[in-house]
Structure 1
Amino acid sequence: MSGDRRLLVGIDGGTQSTKVLVLDAAGAVVAEGVQPLRPMTMPGKGRFEHPDDDLWDSLRAAARAAMAQLGDRADDIVAVGLCSIRFCRALLRADGTLATPVMSWMDERVGRPHEPAPGVRFVTAASAYVTARLTGRVVDSAANYAGIWPVDHDRWDWSDADDDVAAMGLTRDKLPALVLPGDVLGHITDAASVATGLPAGLPVVATANDKAVEALGNGLLDPTQLLLSLGTYITTMRPAIDRRPATAAHWSNFACRPHRFLDESDGIRRGMSTISWLRDLMATELSLRAAESGCRVEDIMNAEAQRVPAGAQGLLTVLDWLAPADSPHRRGAIVGFDARHGWPHMYRSILEGIAMTMRIRSDAMASVLHQDLTSIVVAGGGSRSDVMMQIVADVFGVPARRAQITDGAGVGAAICAAVAAGVHPGFEEAVAAMVHLADTFTPNPATAAVYRDLLATYAQLPDELDLPFRQIHAQGL
C-alpha cells in the first residue's frame, strides 16, 4: 500500500464549517482545507437559513485551500466523496441553483410538508444542491432522505405510493434521482473545477447523511460499540442488527453502507454550540491568557476544567439550549450556583451534562434494543479534549476511544470514494485500511462512582424544571 499514490478527497459540509480532506489509500492526511460558515439568518420565528449561497461559497474556499497545499499531486486524486448536512431543505431552480436560501435542519419548516414557491423545480436535501453545483446533475444518495421524505426504506428509493409523495406537498417530478452510497453521482464540471480547484472530470461519489458518514469514518461496524458524535447536534449511534420501527428512545437511520442501518438515540440540539457560547462569553479573558501563554483558548479551558472535581461541586447543566419542536417551552439551565463556582465549573458542568444526557439516552436505546455495550468511540471536535474523553469514560463506565483524525465525516466520505474508485474492494476493507483509532481512556473507579450517584439526580432535572419553563413560555418571555 505504501507505493499507492492514489488520493481520495472527502468533503464534509457541516453546520458550522466546510472541511475538505485529501487522504491517501492508508488514511493519512495529505492536505486539508477548512472554511467557517457565516452565521445563520433568522427571517422569522422558528426559521434558520444559511445566508445567500454560503454552503457553496464555503466549499469553494475550503477546496481551493486544500488544492493549494496539494500542488502537483492533484493529478493523483481518483475520486471525491461528498457529505453534507442532514435534514436541511434546498429549493432549486431548473439549472440546480438556489431559488431560496437553504433551510437549516433547525428550521421548523423542514419537518412540515413543502409549501409551493415560485421558480422551484426541485425540492431536495442540501447534498443534492451541492452535487448539482459540482456535477451539473440533480441527483443524490438515498441515504440522505431519512425523516419525513417519502422514501421506501426496503428498496432505498422513492416510495411507489403517490399518497406518500403528496403528503409532503410534492409531485414526483420535483424529487431528485437517487443512488446508493458508493455510487457515482456525476463528474466535476469545468465550471466547478475553476471554482474549487478540483480537477475536472473527477467522479463525485455518493455517501449518506453526515452522522452516518461520520460513523463509517470512525470505523463503527460492531453492534456492541457505541459512537458518541459531538457536533452541533450530539447523538449516539450503533450499527443495527436489523431495522426496527422507531420508538420513543431510538430511530433507524440509513447507514453509509448500502441497505444497512444505524440505531440512533435522541440527542442534544446545538450541543457543542453551548461550549462556544461559554467561550464567547469569556472571550476577553481567555484570549489574553492564550496570547500570553502561546496556546489555544480551548487548551486553557480544558486545563481549568481538569482542576474542577467531578460533579463540578454540585453545578448541573441541562442542555436544552434549542427547544425541540414538540416542546417549545423547554430551555437550558445551569442549576446549583454558590460562591465556589466560576467559569471553569460552568465549563466542566456543560461537559458533564453532555455526557450524562447522552448516557441516559443511549441507555434508553439499549433497553429497547437489548444490546450490550463494550466500548465507546467519541467523534467530532470535542474528542480532542482529554477532559471530555475521561468524563465520557467515567460517565459511561466503559473504555472511550477517539480516532486519529477527528473529522470522521471527511474520512467516511473518502472511504466511499475509495470504494467507488476501486482503491479498496469494499467498505469493510476500506475501513480497515483508512480508519485508525488513537488514545483509549479507561474509567477511573472513584470518579465513575461519583457520576453513578449523580446520574439519578441529573435525570430528574428536566421534569423538575418543566413546570416553571411552561409558565415562562406562557408569559411570552
Structure 2
Amino acid sequence: MSVWIGVDLGTQSVRATAVADDGRVLGAAGRPLTSRRDGPRHEQDPEQWWRELAAATREALRDVPPGRIGGVAVDATSGTILLADRDGRPLTPGLMYDDRRAADQVERVNAAGAAVWEALGYRRMQATWALPKLLWLLRDAPEGARLAHQSDFVNRRLIGREVATDLSNALKTGVDLIHERWPGEVLDTLGVPAALLPAVVRPGSVLGEVCAEAAAATGIPAGTPVVAGTTDGCAAQLGAGALTPGSWNSVLGTTLVLKGVTRTLVHDPLGVVYSHKAPDGSWLPGGASSTGAGVLARDLPGRDLDALGRLAAERFGERSGGRPGGGRAPSATIYPLVSRGERFPFAAPDAEGFTLGEVDDDVDRYAAILRGAAYVERLCFDYLDLLGAPADGEVILTGGATRSAYWNRLRAGVLGRPVTLRENAEPALGMALLAAVGAAARDAGPGRTREASREITARMVRTREVVEPGGGDLTEHYLRFVGELEDRGWLPGPAAAHARARSSLERTAP
C-alpha cells in the first residue's frame, strides 16, 4: 500500500499529512507561519515557508516507511506571489492573497484583459489578485527576475530546478484557462516579459522528483514524484470528495465558500462566480461570501456555543413546524456579515449586517445568526442555478461550522436536501489525493485522469454521516430575507425572482 504526502501551505500555518491508499492518516504535523501587516500590505517570508514545510514533513513522516511513499503535492493560498532569481532565491517578500497595495493597477489590468477575462467567465480582476500585484513588483524588478507563486517557490526547492506552475494558482495571474496558456497579447500590453513567466500545466501533472538536498531537509525520499497542486480552496474541495459534475462542497468557517464541478465553463454577469480547471479538464466554479461563523465570535464573545446550540435545538427543535414539545417558531434572522461588503452571491461593497425580527436573548441571537448563514447558503445555490450550474449532486459540508449538529440539520432543512459530512476533509488530504491521482495518470496515461480521480476518491475520502433535513419549513423566513436584500438594493431583481420561483416549484413538487 502506497503513502501519499499532502502539504497545505496556508496563511497561519503549513500542515503536512501522510495518507494511505485507503484514507488512513499515518502521520500529520503543522508549523506556524508569521505575517507582516501594514495597512493594505500583507507579506510573509518565503524562506519561512520552506523551513516550516520541511519541519512539518519530517515530523509527519517520522513513522512512515520511506519505501512506501508514492508522491507529494502542495497547495497554496490563491494569489500569493513573489519574484525570485534564476536560482529560485527570493528577491521580494511573498505578497499574500489579500494584499491590496496594487489597487491602482486594477483599472489598467481590466482594460487590457477585458476580452480574456470575459471569456473566462469572471469578467474582471480585483485588487487582491496576483496580476495587479505582479505589475506593482515589476516597477523595481532586477534583470532576470522570475515570477513565482507560493507553491512554485517550494516546489522548486523540492525538485532543485525551475518548475512549471499549475493552472489553479495561475488563475489570478491571468492565465487563459480555456487554452491553458498565458495570454501573450494581454501581458505584452501590460509590459510583462514572457521570460518572467513559468510554464503552465494542469493540477495533477508530475513536475519532477524530490532532489537529494530537499530529501535531507524534508525527510521525503529522493526520487519521490512531485505533483502540481492547486490553490487551498480547490484542495479543500478535493479533500471533501466533490469531484463529479453537480456535486458541491460548502465550506462554512469564518466565512462561507462554495465550490462545485461542471462540465462547461460558467459565465456570471455579476462576476462573483469564477472557475478553476480540474485535473481532468472539467471546471470548478465557486464563490466566497463575506458571511459566516465569524459573527458568532464577534457578537457572542466568551459564550459556550455548544451550549447555545443545545438550547436552540430545545427551543426551536427539528420537527415539522419547528414547535416540538411546546417550543416556538423562529422569528428573527440576522444577516451575518463578518465585515462590510458582500462578494457572493451578489456584489455589494456597501452591504452591512442587519436583523429581521426581535431577538430576546443570546439563544435567539445564536439561532438567528445560524439561520441567516443558512439562508445565504441557500441563496448561493439559487444563484448558481440561475447561471445554469448543475446542483443535483451530493452537497458536502466542511469547515468549523460542521461541529454543530444543530446547524448541520438546519442547513439541510433550509436547502431541502440531505447533506454529507466527511471524516477528515481538509486541504492536506486533498493534496495527498491529488498526488495519488497524478501518479496514476502518469502511469496509465492522462486520458485516465477522470477515472483515476473517482477510484482514488472512493478509497481515500471517508463519509462520517449523512444528515437529513430538520427544523421545519422555513421557506417564508427565507423569502422574507431575500426580499430584504432586494429592497436594500444589494440583490439584483432577477436573482431574487429566481429564488422565489425555485421555492415555489419546490413547494408544489410531488
Q: TM-score range by the shorter chain?
A: 0.7 to 0.9
Query: Is this contact kept in 2: 1:318–1:461, CA < 8 A?
Result: no
Q: In the aligned structure 2, how far is the partner of 1:411 from the partner of 1:271? A: 24
- 2:355 is matched with 335
Query: Structure 1 residues 372, 8: CA separation in 2 closer, same or farther (over 3 Å shift)?
Result: closer
Write the mapping of 1:302-313 to structure 2, written as runs, cut at 5 A: 302-303=309-310, 306-307=313-314, 309=316, 313=331
**Match for 2:400 among 381, 384, 388?**
381
- 1:14 is matched with 10
Deviations 1:121-163 (A, max 9, x none): 122322212222322334321232223x33222332223x3x2
Deviations 1:30-66 (A, max 9, x none): 111133443x43323x333336755434433432331
Query: Is this contact kept in 1: 2:333–2:481, CA < 8 A?
Result: no
- 2:165 is matched with 140
Instruction: Tell me which moved more, 249-258 or 396-405.
Output: 249-258
Structure 2 residue 196 is the aligned partner of structure 1 residue 174: yes
Structure 2 residue 37 is the aligned partner of structure 1 residue 42: yes
Q: In the aligned structure 1, how far is the partner of 2:95 from the partner of 2:296? A: 24
Give the letter aligned to residue 279 of structure 2.
Answer: R
Query: Is this contact kept in 2: 1:240–1:261, CA < 8 A?
Result: yes
- 1:410 is matched with 428
Q: In the aligned structure 1, how far is the partner of 2:338 from the partner of 2:270? A: 18
Give the letter aligned to residue 430 of structure 2.
Answer: G
Shift, 1:308, TM fit: 5.6
Shift, 1:22, TM fit: 0.9
Write the mapping of 1:77-226 to structure 2, written as runs, cut at 5 A: 77-108=69-100, 109=102, 110-111=128-129, 112=132, 114-115=135-136, 116=138, 117-119=140-142, 121-136=145-160, 137-147=162-172, 149-159=173-183, 161=184, 163-226=185-248
**RMSD across aligned positions (CA):** 3.3
Structure 2 residue 381 is the aligned partner of structure 1 residue 362: yes
Query: Is this contact kept in 2: 1:81–1:204, CA < 8 A?
Result: yes
Q: In the aligned structure 2, how far is the partner of 1:276 from the partner of 1:318? A: 11
Query: Is this contact kept in 2: 1:184–1:203, CA < 8 A?
Result: yes
Shift, 1:439, TM fit: 0.4
Query: Is this contact kept in 2: 1:150–1:168, CA < 8 A?
Result: no
Shift, 1:24, TM fit: 0.7
Match of 1:369, SS state, is coil
Q: In the aligned structure 2, how far is the partner of 1:448 from the partner of 1:392? A: 11
Q: In the aligned structure 2, how far is the partner of 1:366 from the partner of 1:330? A: 25
Structure 2 residue 269 is the aligned partner of structure 1 residue 247: yes
Query: Is this contact kept in 1: 2:5–2:435, CA < 8 A?
Result: yes
How many residue pairs match? The answer is: 436
Q: In the aligned structure 2, how far is the partner of 1:301 from the partner of 1:394? A: 19
Match of 2:31, SS state, is strand
Query: Structure 1 residues 448, 74: CA separation in 2 closer, same or farther (over 3 Å shift)?
Result: farther
Shift, 1:7, TM fit: 0.6
Query: Structure 1 residues 76, 358: CA separation in 2 closer, same or farther (over 3 Å shift)?
Result: same
Query: Structure 1 residues 372, 214: CA separation in 2 closer, same or farther (over 3 Å shift)?
Result: closer
Deviations 1:375-431 (A, max 9, x none): 411123333332332122012111110112121x22221122113333996222211
Query: Structure 1 residues 257, 239: CA separation in 2 closer, same or farther (over 3 Å shift)?
Result: same
- 2:419 is matched with 400
Q: In the aligned structure 1, how far is the partner of 2:294 from the partner of 2:13? A: 13
Query: Is this contact kept in 2: 1:96–1:138, CA < 8 A?
Result: no
Give the letter aligned to residue 478 of structure 2.
Answer: L
Query: Structure 1 residues 261, 327: CA separation in 2 closer, same or farther (over 3 Å shift)?
Result: closer
- 1:267 is matched with 288
- 1:427 is matched with 453
Q: In the aligned structure 1, how far is the partner of 2:150 from the partner of 2:254? A: 17
Q: In the aligned structure 1, how far is the partner of 2:13 from the partner of 2:239? A: 18
Match of 1:9, SS state, is strand
Give the letter aligned to residue 92 of structure 2.
Answer: T
Match of 1:258, SS state, is coil
Query: Structure 1 residues 418, 229: CA separation in 2 closer, same or farther (over 3 Å shift)?
Result: same
Give the letter aligned to residue 458 of structure 1.
Answer: F
- 1:454 is matched with 477
TM-score w.r.t. the length of structure 1 is 0.80
Query: Structure 1 residues 66, 304: CA separation in 2 closer, same or farther (over 3 Å shift)?
Result: farther
Deviations 1:90-138 (A, max 9, x none): 3323332333332222223333262223448122322212222322334
Match of 1:59, SS state, is helix
Task: Give 5+ residue unaligned stretches, structure 1.
Answer: 287-297, 468-477
Query: Is this contact kept in 1: 2:332–2:359, CA < 8 A?
Result: no
Q: In the aligned structure 2, how far is the partner of 1:228 from the partner of 1:31? A: 26
Instruction: Tell me which moved more, 390-399 or 229-238.
Output: 229-238
Query: Is this contact kept in 2: 1:143–1:156, CA < 8 A?
Result: no
Query: Structure 1 residues 339, 178: CA separation in 2 closer, same or farther (over 3 Å shift)?
Result: closer
Query: Is this contact kept in 1: 2:289–2:342, CA < 8 A?
Result: no
Shift, 1:340, TM fit: 2.2
**Match for 1:31 among 27, 33, 45?**
27
Query: Is this contact kept in 2: 1:399–1:440, CA < 8 A?
Result: yes
- 1:295 is matched with none
Match of 2:237, SS state, is helix
Query: Structure 1 residues 465, 169: CA separation in 2 closer, same or farther (over 3 Å shift)?
Result: farther
- 2:57 is matched with 63
Match of 1:422, SS state, is helix
